[in-house]
Homo-oligomer: A and B are copies of this chain.
């Protein structure tokens, strides 16, 4: 890639991250192009669809996911608290941008999605945390990772779309945790 092309690409991603954080994933792409000081054509050449741009933005986010899973695995305390800790982190991670929960959770388990790699990162992280609980025999036998991601993602989606009280979110996550753990 030519140096100027790389420069423009980086600049677009940087601006888009800011604009999307402020206005959500539905923000005008022409606005992103304008703020980045490039023409619309340049933006669309680098990122043919909105999703490919979103994917590029999320690159740095992957590291955070790994880190969060690591912390949850190392979490001291009861199984229930450990699981809830991960759920909270999971919701926070996918809720960084408005519209994120819906976008990510919808793509979960759908192959060929432009953000499939990001979903995979989340699934793997979740599987790690769930794996620890499973080893300890704390989890019900038929628990599927994707399903858990969808359940928690569903809560995050609703919370994202209407402003739900954090305490209410926690309480919903508790219901899911209790439904997953052996009694």
Copies of this protein chain in the complex: 2
Q: Is A23's beta carbon under 8 Å from chain B?
A: no
| A19 at the B interface (CB under 8 A) | no
What's the dominant secondary structure at chain A's contact region?
Answer: helix
| Chain A 150-168 near chain B by CB (<8 Å), digits 1 or 0 | 1101110110011110001
Supposing A153-B158, A154-B157 touch, asked if A179 and B175 sit within 8 A by C-beta, the answer is yes
Residues of B within 8 Å of A172, CB to CB, are: 147, 150-151, 154
- A-B contact list, 9 entries, CB within 8 Å: A102-B161, A108-B162, A144-B171, A150-B158, A150-B168, A150-B172, A157-B158, A178-B178, A179-B180
**Chain A residues bordering chain B, tally (CB within 8 A):** 32
Candidates B107, B155, B162; contact of A151 at CB < 8 Å: B155
A109 and B105 CA atoms in complex are apart in Å by 22
Does A58 count as interface, using CB distance less than 8 angstroms?
no
A106 within 8 A of B: yes
